[in-house]
Structure 1
Amino acid sequence: MKPGVWQRLDVIARSTVPAFSVFVLLLIGLLPYSIPKLADVTPALTLMAVFYWAVNRPDLMTGLAAFMLGLLQDLLTGLPLGVSSLVFLLVQSASANQGRFFHNKAFTVMWWGFAIVSGPAFLLQWLFSSALTGALLPFQPLVISYLITAGMFPLVAWVLVRIQNGLLRNL
């Protein structure tokens, strides 16, 4: 039996959940933090989500989706155009290719995997941003952002697991 229009729309809407969750985390990341001396330090919420979805649902977090979300992040944050796109694309492809390794393993394995993948991602973003702006950007905020991002990954992953179990179970 052919699925109805509403069923097809439901499938389409559910298939956009990973990209939409990355977009929501991007908007949350744009909120101003009023922490003294930490204005340049923010967790990479979008990087966490791209990694999570690329590992768990690579069919829904495609390279094109990662690229477009990175482009949107560059436009909204003021980074040189293409930096986040390239970083997200590299993280998505590396994570999607290793996704089978993370299945049926303890969460700490995925956490370590994220810490290992996000380190070079932060370095690449710093290198590309420094090269494209023509000045060497400070390194200390990068290290602090990396540590905060790696430390916050379980919290963001917990939320994304709930979204995946609630909305994407039957997709």
Structure 2
Amino acid sequence: MEVTRLSAETAGLDEVDGVALAAFEHPQFSIREELSRPWTRCWMVRRGGEALAFLIAWHVADEVHVLNVATAPAARRQGCARALMTEVLAYAREHQVRILLLEVRRSNVPAIGLYRGLGFHTLSVRKGYYSDNGEDAVEMILALDPATGAMLPGRDEVSIA
């Protein structure tokens, strides 16, 4: 498995759109439009040249907001999302990021487990956040010491049980 950072000049950006179409019922972004923004960061997982997953984040000031983590259905539960999140955490440490934020569907129990295992905590629940079906989003946060990159202790602010 290979994780690479993408830019607007990267060949094969259509593969990101292909993974998005396979992973999401109604993808609501354009990878080219995202990468035209100076604050967008994007990584892709490939195996044997095949695009399996991607992560899109925004890096603004001392925060990274993970917007999308998507894995092609045939590649799920194989460590792609973990590899991507590990890469974004390394990026955050390297760039003295203070907090990482993300939203995840309340029903996406495997993803919530992954994020918890990486040190994220629940911050809030956003009622009716997802426009496709009105599902709630769980907002999660991970705080880092910008000087050392060490994870700072945190606790769940809300219960999602």
| Larger fraction in helix | 1
Higher relative contact order (CA 8 A, sep 6+): 1
